[in-house]
Chain A
Amino acid sequence: MSHLGELLSALVDGELSGAELDRANAHVAACGACRVEANALRRLKHELRALAEVNDSNDITRRLLAMGSLDGPPGLAGPGASVQARQLGRERGPRRRVRATGERSMGDPYSYSGLPSGRLPGRRRGRYVLWSTLTLVVVGVGTAFGMGGSSGSTGPQITPQLEVYDVQHAITSGDVPFDDPTDVPARVPVVAATP
Chain B
Amino acid sequence: MRHGLLITAVATVTVPGLLAMLAVVGHEHVAAEAGVNAASLDGTPLSGPFPVAPATARAAVRNNIAAVQRADGVPVTVFNRVTVSQKVEGMRLLDSAAAASLSTSYHGTELISQSSVDGSVKTVSQVWHQGGGVTLVETSDTTSAAARPANVSVASSDPASESPEGVFGVTKSLMALLGKHYVAVDRGGGTAVGRKAAVVDLYRFDGSLAARYWLDKQTEVPLRRELFGTSDEVISQDSFVQVKFGALAVSQIAGRGAILAQSHASDQSVAQSAWVAAEPGQILTSLAGKGWPVPGSLPGNLPLYAAASANTASGEVVDLEYSDGLYVVSVFAQRGTLAAKMPGWRQVNVGGQQAFVSGHSVTWAVPGFVYTVIADAPPQTVTQVVKALPRDNSPGVLDRLGRGFIRIARAFNPFG
Using a CB–CB distance below 8 Å, which chain A residues touch chain B? 141, 143-150, 152-195
Contact = CB atoms under 8 A, between A and B. Distances in A.
Interface in B310-351: 310, 312, 314-315, 317, 319, 321, 323, 328, 330, 332, 334-340, 342-345
B154 A190 contact: yes
Given A162-B361, A176-B137, A195-B162, A141 B110 contact: no
B400 A145 contact: yes
B277 interface: yes
B154 A170 contact: yes
Contact of B152 (A150, A177, A192): A177
B343 A182 contact: yes
A176 B139 contact: yes
Nearest to A172: B321
Interface string B170-188: 1100100000000000000
A61 to B, nearest CB: 47
Given A174-B101, A176-B127, A193-B308, 16 more contacts: A152-B368, A154-B337, A154-B367, A155-B368, A158-B339, A163-B270, A168-B332, A172-B306, A174-B169, A176-B137, A179-B140, A181-B343, A181-B344, A181-B359, A187-B264, A192-B163
Please classify the interface of chain A as helix (H, G, I), strand (E, B), loop, or mixed, using the class held by over half of its residues: loop
A152 B403 CA distance: 14
A168 B152 contact: no
Contacts of B407: 144, 147-148
Contacts of A141: 401
Contacts of B367: 150, 152, 154
Contact of A155 (B147, B277, B336): B336
A161 B311 CA distance: 12
Contacts of B201: none
A160 B372 CA distance: 7
Contacts of A179: 123, 139-141, 148-149, 151-152
A147 B342 CA distance: 28
Most buried by B among A155, A159, A179: A179
Interface residues of B, number: 100
Nearest to B314: A158
Contacts of A192: 156-158, 163, 165, 275
Contacts of B147: 182
B249 interface: no
Contacts of B157: 191-192, 194
B151 A177 contact: no
Contacts of B162: 193, 195
Contacts of A164: 270-271, 273, 310, 312, 317
Contacts of A150: 367, 394
B81 to A, nearest CB: 31
A165 B330 contact: yes
A180 B345 CA distance: 9
B301 to A, nearest CB: 17
A87 B402 CA distance: 70
A143 B164 contact: no
Given A162-B358, A164-B312, A181-B148, A191 B156 contact: yes
A146 B146 contact: no
Contact of B139 (A143, A153, A177, A191): A177
B146 A176 contact: no
B274 interface: yes
Contacts of A190: 154-156, 270, 272-273
Contact of B397 (A145, A160, A166, A174): A145
A144 B1 CA distance: 75
B149 A185 contact: yes
Contacts of B267: 185, 187-189
B153 A172 contact: no
B146 A180 contact: yes
B131 interface: no
Contacts of B41: none
B165 A189 contact: no
A171 B156 contact: yes
B310 to A, nearest CB: 8
A162 to B, nearest CB: 6
Contacts of A188: 152-154, 267, 270
Contacts of A161: 273, 312, 314, 317
Given A145-B401, A154-B337, A174-B170, A185 B269 contact: yes
A156 B148 CA distance: 26
Contacts of B400: 144-145, 148-149
A174 B171 contact: yes
Interface in B268-286: 269-277
A182 B341 CA distance: 13
B370 A158 contact: yes
Contacts of A171: 156, 158, 163-165
Contacts of B110: 176
Contacts of B146: 180-182
A183 B152 CA distance: 12
Nearest to B407: A147
A148 B368 contact: no
B174 to A, nearest CB: 6
B330 A168 contact: yes
